[in-house]
Amino acid sequence: MTFRVDFWVAAATVAPVIALSATVAISDNFRQLAGLEISLAPHSPSEATGRKVGLSAYLISSANIAVQSLVLIFALLALMQDDNVISPFLVAFGEFFGLIFIFVSIILNARMGLAVSRAPEDQRRKSGNGRSEISSAIQEPLQQDSERENHDDGDEAP
Protein backbone atom coordinates (compact mmCIF):
# COMPACT_ATOMS: atom_id res chain seq x y z
CA MET A 1 0.00 0.00 0.00
CA THR A 2 1.34 3.43 -0.87
CA PHE A 3 2.21 5.93 1.79
CA ARG A 4 -0.25 8.84 2.03
CA VAL A 5 0.81 11.77 4.16
CA ASP A 6 -2.72 13.22 4.29
CA PHE A 7 -4.11 10.03 5.82
CA TRP A 8 -1.51 9.94 8.57
CA VAL A 9 -1.92 13.64 9.34
CA ALA A 10 -5.68 13.10 9.63
CA ALA A 11 -5.16 10.07 11.88
CA ALA A 12 -2.72 12.01 14.08
CA THR A 13 -5.27 14.83 14.33
CA VAL A 14 -8.38 12.76 15.01
CA ALA A 15 -6.93 10.34 17.59
CA PRO A 16 -6.43 12.96 20.35
CA VAL A 17 -9.91 14.37 19.74
CA ILE A 18 -11.50 10.94 20.13
CA ALA A 19 -9.35 10.28 23.22
CA LEU A 20 -10.48 13.60 24.69
CA SER A 21 -14.11 12.62 24.12
CA ALA A 22 -13.45 9.33 25.90
CA THR A 23 -11.89 11.27 28.80
CA VAL A 24 -15.02 13.41 29.07
CA ALA A 25 -17.11 10.23 29.04
CA ILE A 26 -15.03 8.86 31.95
CA SER A 27 -15.55 12.10 33.86
CA ASP A 28 -19.30 11.84 33.31
CA ASN A 29 -19.10 8.20 34.37
CA PHE A 30 -17.54 9.14 37.72
CA ARG A 31 -20.20 11.81 38.28
CA GLN A 32 -22.88 9.21 37.65
CA LEU A 33 -21.20 6.79 40.07
CA ALA A 34 -21.08 9.49 42.74
CA GLY A 35 -24.81 10.12 42.24
CA LEU A 36 -25.37 6.39 42.53
CA GLU A 37 -23.62 6.26 45.90
CA ILE A 38 -25.48 9.32 47.20
CA SER A 39 -28.94 8.21 46.20
CA LEU A 40 -29.13 4.42 46.41
CA ALA A 41 -28.89 2.14 49.40
CA PRO A 42 -25.79 -0.06 49.47
CA HIS A 43 -26.18 -3.58 48.09
CA SER A 44 -29.58 -2.86 46.54
CA PRO A 45 -30.38 -4.38 43.13
CA SER A 46 -30.50 -0.94 41.51
CA GLU A 47 -27.11 -0.07 42.95
CA ALA A 48 -25.62 -3.36 41.70
CA THR A 49 -27.01 -2.76 38.21
CA GLY A 50 -25.74 0.81 38.20
CA ARG A 51 -22.27 -0.26 39.30
CA LYS A 52 -22.03 -2.97 36.62
CA VAL A 53 -23.12 -0.56 33.92
CA GLY A 54 -20.75 2.10 35.26
CA LEU A 55 -17.81 -0.28 35.29
CA SER A 56 -18.58 -1.32 31.71
CA ALA A 57 -18.67 2.31 30.57
CA TYR A 58 -15.39 3.01 32.38
CA LEU A 59 -13.64 0.00 30.80
CA ILE A 60 -14.90 0.86 27.31
CA SER A 61 -13.73 4.47 27.61
CA SER A 62 -10.36 3.40 29.03
CA ALA A 63 -9.86 0.93 26.18
CA ASN A 64 -10.78 3.68 23.74
CA ILE A 65 -8.10 5.98 25.17
CA ALA A 66 -5.53 3.17 24.85
CA VAL A 67 -6.52 2.49 21.21
CA GLN A 68 -6.37 6.18 20.31
CA SER A 69 -2.95 6.48 21.97
CA LEU A 70 -1.69 3.64 19.79
CA VAL A 71 -3.19 5.22 16.67
CA LEU A 72 -1.45 8.49 17.51
CA ILE A 73 1.90 6.77 18.09
CA PHE A 74 1.66 4.86 14.80
CA ALA A 75 0.60 7.98 12.91
CA LEU A 76 3.51 10.00 14.29
CA LEU A 77 5.96 7.19 13.52
CA ALA A 78 4.61 6.91 9.97
CA LEU A 79 5.01 10.66 9.46
CA MET A 80 8.52 10.56 10.89
CA GLN A 81 9.64 7.64 8.70
CA ASP A 82 7.65 8.58 5.57
CA ASP A 83 6.42 5.00 5.44
CA ASN A 84 3.44 2.97 6.65
CA VAL A 85 4.46 1.41 9.96
CA ILE A 86 1.09 -0.33 10.27
CA SER A 87 -1.71 -0.99 7.84
CA PRO A 88 -3.82 2.13 7.28
CA PHE A 89 -6.88 -0.15 7.39
CA LEU A 90 -6.12 -0.99 11.04
CA VAL A 91 -5.81 2.70 11.84
CA ALA A 92 -9.10 3.48 10.09
CA PHE A 93 -10.83 0.68 12.03
CA GLY A 94 -9.31 2.00 15.27
CA GLU A 95 -10.73 5.46 14.61
CA PHE A 96 -14.13 4.08 13.57
CA PHE A 97 -14.43 1.86 16.63
CA GLY A 98 -13.26 4.76 18.79
CA LEU A 99 -16.35 6.68 17.73
CA ILE A 100 -18.53 3.62 18.34
CA PHE A 101 -16.98 3.20 21.82
CA ILE A 102 -17.85 6.82 22.67
CA PHE A 103 -21.44 6.25 21.61
CA VAL A 104 -21.69 3.05 23.67
CA SER A 105 -20.17 4.78 26.69
CA ILE A 106 -22.73 7.59 26.45
CA ILE A 107 -25.56 5.05 26.26
CA LEU A 108 -24.19 3.17 29.30
CA ASN A 109 -23.85 6.40 31.30
CA ALA A 110 -27.47 7.22 30.47
CA ARG A 111 -28.48 3.71 31.55
CA MET A 112 -26.69 4.21 34.85
CA GLY A 113 -28.61 7.45 35.37
CA LEU A 114 -31.84 5.57 34.71
CA ALA A 115 -30.88 2.98 37.34
CA VAL A 116 -30.79 5.83 39.87
CA SER A 117 -33.93 7.64 38.74
CA ARG A 118 -36.06 4.51 38.38
CA ALA A 119 -34.99 2.82 41.61
CA PRO A 120 -37.90 1.88 43.86
CA GLU A 121 -38.28 4.02 46.96
CA ASP A 122 -37.28 1.12 49.24
CA GLN A 123 -33.87 0.97 47.51
CA ARG A 124 -33.09 4.65 48.06
CA ARG A 125 -31.01 5.96 50.94
CA LYS A 126 -33.03 7.68 53.62
CA SER A 127 -32.06 10.74 55.59
CA GLY A 128 -33.11 11.40 59.16
CA ASN A 129 -36.35 13.09 58.09
CA GLY A 130 -37.52 10.15 55.96
CA ARG A 131 -36.82 11.79 52.62
CA SER A 132 -34.56 10.07 50.16
CA GLU A 133 -30.93 11.19 50.33
CA ILE A 134 -30.92 12.61 46.81
CA SER A 135 -33.88 14.88 47.49
CA SER A 136 -32.21 16.07 50.71
CA ALA A 137 -28.99 16.74 48.85
CA ILE A 138 -30.88 18.91 46.38
CA GLN A 139 -33.36 20.56 48.76
CA GLU A 140 -30.95 21.71 51.49
CA PRO A 141 -28.70 23.87 49.25
CA LEU A 142 -31.82 25.41 47.69
CA GLN A 143 -33.16 26.27 51.15
CA GLN A 144 -29.81 27.76 52.16
CA ASP A 145 -29.75 29.92 49.02
CA SER A 146 -33.29 31.08 49.73
CA GLU A 147 -32.40 31.94 53.33
CA ARG A 148 -29.33 33.88 52.17
CA GLU A 149 -31.43 35.86 49.70
CA ASN A 150 -33.99 36.69 52.38
CA HIS A 151 -31.20 37.68 54.78
CA ASP A 152 -29.53 39.84 52.13
CA ASP A 153 -32.83 41.59 51.36
CA GLY A 154 -33.19 42.62 55.01
CA ASP A 155 -29.67 44.10 55.18
CA GLU A 156 -30.17 46.60 52.38
CA ALA A 157 -30.18 50.27 53.32
CA PRO A 158 -33.29 52.29 52.41
Q: Structure pTM?
A: 0.71
pLDDT at 130: 46
Residue closest to 71 by CA, chosen among 47, 50, 55, 87 = 87
At 69-81, the pLDDT tens digits run 999 999 999 999 9
At 131-153, the pLDDT tens digits run 444 445 545 555 666 677 676 66
DSSP character string of 94-142: HHHHHHHHHHHHHHHHHHHHHHHHT--GGGB-B-TTSSBHHHHHHHHHH
Rounded Cα distance between 124 and 127, Å, is 10
Residue closest to 112 by CA, chosen among 65, 57, 157 = 57
pLDDT at 129: 47
Task: Count CB neighbours of 85 within 10 A.
Answer: 16
Rounded Cα distance between 73 and 59, Å, is 21
Q: What are the helix (H) ranges across 40-87? A: 45-81
